[in-house]
Homo-oligomer: A and B are copies of this chain.
Amino acid sequence: MTEFSSIIQNVSRFITLTEEEAQLFTSLLRTQKVRKKQFVVQPEFVCQYRTYITTGALRSYFIGNDGQEYTIALAIDDWWISDFTSYINQEPATLFVEAMEHSTLIQISYQNEQALYEKVPQFERFFRIHSQRGAAAIQKRMLWSISKTAEERYEEMQKKYPQFLQRFPQYVIASYLGMTTQFLSRIRNRKIKG
């Protein structure tokens, strides 16, 4: 039972590791504590790490030319988050990744990830499956962001991720759902009154 037990469990959903492999893996990781409102990734800087959340809550968002915030992803305990585009291409980020709570993170650097592939090739599989699922999730999200009304999107979130509604402030939820805080507020009110 170490600080890494939860990430090992997360990885073990898709691949099986020997004791030595697991040790090799964790030797390439670093843990990080971040305080609420701290940034893990910022535009212009290259995203150096894949980030796994041991405990806490983070979000990624970008700021459009209009100055508006667009929340891309929400993530809590046992989820991964990054600006993957920046990370995989090792190019400057376009997103912010911000802690919404004091959080404990586990990170792997791009360099160490490449080394990991050499030493424990199984991780090619892990990150393949991980990326495939990520791609599927983003696509599903895009699908409903274009085909559903604001109210339907909110209902879907209530049903599918009720924890998120409690853990993130409403302006973040609104921005994740692609609507203004004012409109979200109206929907919530409409629903209470019937």
Contact = CB atoms under 8 A, between A and B. Distances in A.
Interface residues of A, number: 35
Interface in A77-100: 84-85, 88-89
A146 B84 contact: no
A117 interface: yes
Given A136-B85, A138-B138, A147 B72 contact: no
Majority secondary structure, A binding face:
helix
Interface string A42-70: 00000000000000000000101110101
Nearest to A73: B139
Contacts of A121: 121, 124
Residue among A129, A138, A139 having the largest count of chain B Cβ atoms under 10 Å: A139
B147 A138 contact: no
B128 A124 contact: yes
A117 B121 CA distance: 12
A37 interface: no
Interface in A130-189: 131-136, 138-143, 145-148, 178
A142 B141 contact: yes
A146 B70 contact: yes
A125 interface: yes
21 contacts: A62-B143, A62-B147, A66-B147, A68-B147, A70-B146, A70-B147, A72-B139, A72-B142, A84-B135, A84-B136, A85-B136, A89-B136, A117-B125, A121-B121, A124-B125, A127-B128, A127-B132, A131-B131, A134-B135, A138-B139, A142-B145
The 6 closest A-B pairs by CB, nearest first: A128-B128, A135-B135, A131-B131, A124-B124, A64-B147, A85-B136
Interface of A: 62, 64-66, 68, 70, 72, 84-85, 88-89, 117, 121, 124-125, 127-129, 131-136, 138-143, 145-148, 178
